[in-house]
A and B are shown apart, each in its own frame.
Chain A
Amino acid sequence: MQTVFQRSYIVVAMSFLVIVSVFLTGCPKKVSPIGKVKSPQTQHNGAPSTDTERFGGDLTSLQEEDMPFQNRDNLFDLPPVESGSKPGEPPVLNDIFFDYGQWHVRSDNLPILRKNASWLAANESKKVEIEGHADKRGTNEYNLVLAEKRASAVQEYLVQFGVPSSKILVISYGEERPFCTKEDEACFQENRRAHFNVK
Chain B
Amino acid sequence: MMWFLKIFFVIVVLSLQMPPLYAADIFLGTSKKRFDKIPIGIVSFQVTTPAHTASSSPKQPVELNDVLTIESVLNADLIRSQLFRVIPLDQGDKNGLDLSKEPGKAVMDWAKNKGVLAIAWAKLYPIADKWVMESYAYEANEWKSIIRVRMTSDTVRPLAHRFSDKLIYHFTGEKGLAETKIAYASDRGGTREVYLMDYDGENKIRLTSAPYMILPPRWSFDATQVGYTFYNHGVSDVYLVNLATSQRRKVFSSSRLSFPPVWSPTGDRVAFASTKDGNSEVYTMHPDGTHLKRLTSHHAADLSPTWSSTGNEIAFTSDRGGTPQIYVMDADGGNTRRLTHSGDYNTSASWSPQGDWIAYTCRNGGGFLKLCAISVDGRQQVEITTQGAWDDESPSWAPNGREIVFTSNRFGKSQIYVIRPDGTGLTRLTSDEGKNTSPVWAPR
User: Which residues of A approach B to under 8 Å, CB–CB?
Assistant: 20, 23-24, 101, 129, 137-142, 144-146, 148-149, 152, 169-173, 176
Contacts and interface: CB of A to CB of B under 8 A. Distances in A.
Contact of A145 (B5, B216, B275): B275
Contact of B256 (A23, A142, A148): A148
A144 B303 CA distance: 10
B1 A23 contact: yes
8 contacts: A101-B323, A101-B345, A138-B345, A138-B369, A139-B394, A140-B437, A142-B347, A172-B231
Given A20-B2, A148-B275, A141 B216 contact: yes
B298 to A, nearest CB: 13
Nearest to A136: B391
Contact of A169 (B234, B348, B361): B234
A173 B212 CA distance: 11
Contacts of A172: 231, 257
A71 B13 CA distance: 60
B192 A176 contact: yes
A135 B115 CA distance: 56
B259 interface: yes
Question: Which of A20, A129, A141 has the most CB atoms of chain B within a 10 A radius of its CB?
Answer: A141
Contacts of A169: 233-234
Contact of B259 (A141, A173, A176): A141
Across the A-B interface, the 10 shortest Cβ-Cβ residue pairs = A171-B234, A145-B280, A139-B347, A20-B1, A142-B347, A145-B301, A139-B348, A139-B393, A169-B234, A139-B361
A149 B301 CA distance: 9
Given A139-B361, A152-B279, A146 B233 contact: no
B43 interface: no
B120 interface: no
B302 to A, nearest CB: 9
A142 B257 contact: no
B348 A141 contact: yes
A176 B210 CA distance: 15
B391 A137 contact: yes
Nearest to B435: A176
Contact of A141 (B1, B192, B303, B391): B303
Nearest to A183: B389
A161 B5 CA distance: 69
Contacts of A20: 1-2, 5
A20 B5 CA distance: 9
B295 to A, nearest CB: 16
A157 B437 CA distance: 34
